[in-house]
Structure 1
């Protein structure tokens, strides 16, 4: 979780003004990491971009890694809300898997700065204060449960391994989204259609 203000302020709930300031700093950090990378994103640079002093930034976040962690959490929260809403509105189990794939790629297409933040924050060789693993069991289990529900409902073929398909789908999502970093003109709409076509051909009863 994001670090709270230090000292006597850490034991109380932040005020509305403090919450707004933290949100501003997180937004600025997302833009800076996306534009310049983690290595070039210093507390002073964050302060300058926000029009604040470095001390004002440190009041809200004790270190550079604390701000990066807060930015990462904000990106994950936005993605989770988007995907969760899409899955909830899906009319059935198989449609929920489609919604997961489409909304994940769609969210990243609409928020390219978030893609950069995720990539930078999860770079193994750099200590960013984020220790999540993009291949973690928790991540694949969410999608695996959706696949398993589609199998149980008879909408997918009965011999599918839900975990394996979840790993494959998450890998495909990561690959097409990552391609936009190398090629900003890459068509994610067409890529989404291709991933869904692969999914439908693989799962058809």
Structure 2
């Protein structure tokens, strides 16, 4: 008989988060119960609640993990770029790659934002969107100061459009039921976005 594997509380919580993200790739997050999560993990609901006081706490942990993953990837991508425009492109592809690797994440985020009540997870997701937008806006402001963007560009609108471009790709992939296709569409879509914000190379202004 194989030896029993003992995991720390943090490891069990991390496994629960991973299980929820995995289930969200196939199921409507609104319909996922603690029973579904426990069954997926081959544990009892009682074991699940040893590490989380409530279902809301589970969703908050999943949302927090998602927020930290997204922001850390965006920041790392931007840090490795040669200029602000390259940083924006690297951030865009880093986010798309993350979604392709974790197709349950978009369902999870949309599901939390649709809640009527202010759940802890919904607050985390809203905070993520604000942090994300600020990160994008900072790179756009740097590009503008470097003279890389077309004159008179509305930086706030460009930041909104950046996020909207990612969201548009995600929604199309969800409707097609094939999240793997998102990576193949990303380069062409970003090129169109970039065409709208970048300064014309022939411009003297």
Same fold (TM over 0.5): yes
Aligned-pair distance for 1:113?
1.8
Secondary structure of residue in 1 paired with 2:77: helix
Q: Which one of the candidate residues 7, 32, 36 is aligned to 2:27?
A: 36
Compared with structure 1, are the counterparts of its residues 200 and 38 closer, same or farther at alpha carbon in structure 2 (3 Å cutoff)? closer
Give distance in 1, aligned partners of 2:24 and 2:194. Answer: 36
Q: Which one of the candidate residues 42, 51, 66 is aligned to 1:51?
A: 42
Deviations 1:37-90 (A, max 9, x none): 233322222222222222211111111111111112112222222222111100
Query: Which one is further off, 44-53 or 184-193?
Result: 184-193
Structure 2 residue aligned with 1:95? 86
- TM-score normalised by L of structure 2: 0.82
Give runs of aligned pairs for residues 150-161 of structure 1, distance below 5 A. 150-161=143-154
Structure 2, unaligned runs of 5 or more: 1-5, 200-205
Q: Which one of the candidate residues 13, 16, 31 is aligned to 1:25?
A: 16
Structure 2 residue aligned with 1:200? 194
Structure 1, unaligned runs of 5 or more: 1-14
Compared with structure 1, are the counterparts of its residues 52 and 194 closer, same or farther at alpha carbon in structure 2 (3 Å cutoff)? same
Structure 2 residue 63 is the aligned partner of structure 1 residue 72: yes
C-alpha RMSD over aligned residues: 2.4
Q: Which one of the candidate residues 182, 186, 203 is aligned to 1:188?
A: 182
Q: Which one of the candidate residues 169, 179, 182 is aligned to 2:172?
A: 179
Give runs of aligned pairs for residues 4-19 of structure 1, distance below 5 A. 17-19=8-10
Secondary structure of residue in 1 paired with 2:121: coil
Compared with structure 1, are the counterparts of its residues 128 and 49 closer, same or farther at alpha carbon in structure 2 (3 Å cutoff)? farther
- TM-score normalised by L of structure 1: 0.82
Q: Which one of the candidate residues 107, 111, 124 is aligned to 1:120?
A: 111
Secondary structure of residue in 1 paired with 2:31: coil
Structure 1 contact 145–162 (Cα < 8 Å) conserved: no
Compared with structure 1, are the counterparts of its residues 140 and 70 closer, same or farther at alpha carbon in structure 2 (3 Å cutoff)? same
Secondary structure of residue in 1 paired with 2:29: coil
Query: Which one is further off, 31-40 or 76-85?
Result: 31-40
Aligned-pair distance for 1:137?
4.2
